[in-house]
Amino acid sequence: MLSVTIVASFMSQRYHVQQTLIKSVERNIDGIEIENGLLDIERDFAYTNDGVYSIVFNKNGKIISGEYPDGVEKIDLSFDSGNVRKYKSGSVNYFVYDTLLKFNKFEYRIDSKTGEILSSEAEFSPTATDFQGDLDTKAKDSTLSLRDAFRLVLKETGLNENEVHLVTAQIHDYHYNNTVYEIEYLTDKSIYDDVWIRGVSASGSESNEWNAIVIVAVIFLPIFILMSSVIGTSIAKRAYKPIENLSLSVSRINTGDDLSERVTVEDSDPVLRQLEENCNLMLERLQQSFESEKQFTSDASHELRTPVTVILAECDYQLGRNDLDDESREALSDIREKALAMKELIQQLLYFARMEQGKALFDFAPNDLTELTDAVAGDIASIAQNSEKHIKIHTDLEKGIIFNMDAGLMARLIENLISNAVRYGNPDGNVWVKLSKDRNVITLSVKDDGIGISKEDAPKIWQRFYRADKARGSGDGCQGLGLPMVKQIAEMHGGHVTLESEEGKGSEFKVIFDVKE
Q: At what angle do helices 221-255 and 270-319 cross, to 10 degrees?
A: 30
Does residue 384 bind ligand ADP (CB under 6 A)? no
Q: Which is nearer to ligand ADP, 265 or 421 (CB)?
A: 421
Which residues, at least 6 apart from 130, have a Cβ–Cβ distance to it below 8 Å? 165, 166, 167
| Distance (Å) of CA 150 to CA 122, 143, 146, 155, 183 | 16, 14, 6, 9, 7
Q: Which of 480, 490, 492, 493 binds ligand ADP (CB under 6 A)?
A: 480
Q: Which is nearer to ligand ADP, 121 or 500 (CB)?
A: 500
Instruction: Phi first, then psi: give them for residue 397, nearest 5 degrees.
Output: -115, 120
Q: Which is nearer to ligand ADP, 222 or 475 (CB)?
A: 475
Q: List the alpha helices (DSSP H) in 323-472.
A: 326-356, 369-386, 407-423
Q: Which of 198, 467, 487, 510 binds ligand ADP (CB under 6 A)?
A: 467
Q: Which is nearer to ligand ADP, 179 or 507 (CB)?
A: 507
First to last CA, the chain: 60
With contacts defined by CB under 6 A, name the span among 151-159, 348-356, 362-370, 466-474 that binds ligand ADP. 466-474
Cα–Cα distance for residue pair 35/422, rounded to 1 Å:
132
- Rg of the chain over Cα atoms, rounded to whole angstroms, equals 57
Does residue 421 bind ligand ADP (CB under 6 A)? yes
Q: List the alpha helices (DSSP H) in 98-216.
A: 146-157, 206-215
- In the complex, minimum distance from the CB of residue 462 to ligand ADP, in angstroms, rounded to a whole number: 8
**Are the C-beta atoms of 167 and 186 separated by less than 8 Å?**
yes
> Closest-CB residue for ligand ADP?
482
Q: Which is nearer to ligand ADP, 117 or 499 (CB)?
A: 499
Does residue 482 bind ligand ADP (CB under 6 A)? yes
Q: Are strands 180-187 and 365-368 parallel, antiparallel or unpaired?
A: unpaired
Q: Which of 75, 191, 311, 468 binds ligand ADP (CB under 6 A)?
A: 468
**Are the C-beta atoms of 68 and 202 separated by less than 8 Å?**
no
- In the complex, minimum distance from the CB of residue 390 to ligand ADP, in angstroms, rounded to a whole number: 17
From the list 442, 445, 430, 437, the residue with the least C-alpha distance to 394 is 430
The secondary structure of residue 361, as a DSSP letter, is G
Q: Which of 122, 478, 492, 511 binds ligand ADP (CB under 6 A)?
A: 478
Q: Which is nearer to ligand ADP, 137 or 474 (CB)?
A: 474
- In the complex, minimum distance from the CB of residue 404 to ligand ADP, in angstroms, rounded to a whole number: 25
Total residue length of the chain: 517
Does residue 125 bind ligand ADP (CB under 6 A)? no
- In the complex, minimum distance from the CB of residue 415 to ligand ADP, in angstroms, rounded to a whole number: 11
- In the complex, minimum distance from the CB of residue 457 to ligand ADP, in angstroms, rounded to a whole number: 7
- DSSP bridge partners of 514: 441
Site for ligand ADP in 445-464 (CB under 6 A): 448, 450-453, 461
Cα–Cα distance for residue pair 372/374, rounded to 1 Å:
5
Q: At what angle do helices 2-27 and 221-255 cross, to 10 degrees?
A: 150
Q: Which is nearer to ligand ADP, 412 or 467 (CB)?
A: 467
Q: Which of 50, 257, 469, 502 binds ligand ADP (CB under 6 A)?
A: 469
- Each residue 285-324 as x (binds ligand ADP by CB under 6 A) or -, in order, gives ----------------------------------------
Helix, strand or coil, per DSSP, at residue 304: helix
Site for ligand ADP in 143-202 (CB under 6 A): none
Residues near ligand ADP (CB under 6 A): 416, 420-421, 424, 448, 450-453, 461, 466-469, 478-484, 507
